[in-house]
Amino acid sequence: MGPERMNRDYEVGTKVFSVTDSSRKEILGDGTGYRKIAVRLYYPILKEQTEGKQKAPYVSERKWESMRKAYHIPKSASVSNEMDMYEDISFIEGQKFPLLLFSHGYNSYIEASTFLCTEIAARGYIVASVGHAHEAICTEYDDGSYDYYDRNINKMMYKKGALKAILAQSKLLRKKGNVEEIQKAFWQFEKEHTPYIMDRLKEWSADMLFALGAVKEKFGQYIDFSHGVAAGGHSLGGATAYYLCQMSDEITCGINIDGGLFGDYRGMTMKKPFYQIACKENWNVESAVLLKTQAPVYTAVFQNMKHIGFTDAKFFVPIKMVVGKMDAEKMHRHLTDCHTTFLDKYLKGLDVEIHQSKDVEIKTDVYA
């Protein structure tokens, strides 16, 4: 399982830790205690640090079983216990690397974009993937506790019921018109069908910022903050990255992988560089990234992809109607290049060209 190894500047280490935000009471799950946040780090290490070390597993057996049920993966399928990363290796002393905060999608899991995150780390970045309690398939904490997706959310997710929301969304995705007209339709859809998601954006953003504070406290000596911190993610995690770019001074640029731009941004202007990655069928709910911006906006629209195919599922879910028809290796290569060239420019300050594809399956553009 997994993509072929790309050219790397570094090997990759990984660590997990968790923190509790005592300023926020948990309302999901059993509704007790305070908000818990899990973090998995991916970071550069030297090749000599890996000698004699065993490669880290992809996920725990508990989480794999949760994934198998969620994605309808046959019991005969297995996840390799040897991912191209190493657990609990020391950071490289005397070196600092820029930081990307990353967020998974709704009812996904903290390692859902491990293949992407390891490649970004191998190019000289620290990636902090943040888990969202009770809103992932399974979230595990370093004290040995864990929680599963809160199925009560399914009752709260859609104001008028799932069927009406699905029908309205289908109509929205097919709507013709300019970006302003489509954005007005999306805003109406949010108010009528998904106010719950809009509220969770604030909580996910709080998760991300609290995790950022913890990463700074624990590992700040290894992080290069000279160009700020980037936020990224898939699906609602990507929408959270956009929200943070609008709302937080700590975030200086962002990348959204196929996340609808939920949230009320009326009267606001984006002032930070942003990269919107999309599959063609979802572009309507993401195109608002082009509105009211004073900073460069980059787009990459994948023609033969499905939403979930931007995650690691592309490599272990064989159903093309679920993950898209595009070749998995091609998708992974382009997705990685979109991220690393953007981050090289805006987190490392390098004079580089943002990835521009000549492939007919991927349409890239820049609005500066």
The residue-averaged pLDDT of 254-264 equals 95
In this structure, of 64-78, 86-100, 125-139, 233-247, the range with the lowest mean pLDDT score is 64-78
DSSP output for 242-255: HHHHHH-TTEEEEE
Domains of the chain by range and CATH? Answer: 11-157+194-367 (3.40.50.1820), 158-193 (no CATH)
Residue 93: strand, helix, or coil = coil
Residue 79 has pLDDT above 70, yes or no: no
With 60 as the cut, is the pLDDT of residue 219 above it?
Answer: yes
User: How many helices, marked H, and strands, marked E, lie in the chain?
Assistant: 9, 12
pLDDT, the chain, mean: 93
> What pLDDT, in 10s, does the model give residues 165-198?
999 999 999 999 999 999 999 999 999 999 999 8
Greatest mean pLDDT range, 149-158, 236-245, 257-266: 236-245
pLDDT digits (tens, 9 = 90+) for 302-336: 999 999 999 999 998 888 999 999 999 999 999 99
Question: What is the tens place of the pLDDT at every residue in 123-142?
Answer: 999 999 999 999 999 999 99
* pLDDT at 78 (0 to 100): 58
Give the three-state DSSP class for 190: helix
Q: What percent of the chain has pLDDT over 70?
A: 98
Confidence band for 70, pLDDT divided at 50, 70 and 90: confident
Specify whether the CB–CB gap between 310 and 233 falls below 8 A: no
Query: Please, are residues 352 and 345 in contact by the beta-carbon 8 Å criterion?
Result: yes
Helix ranges, 159-194 (H): 162-174, 179-193
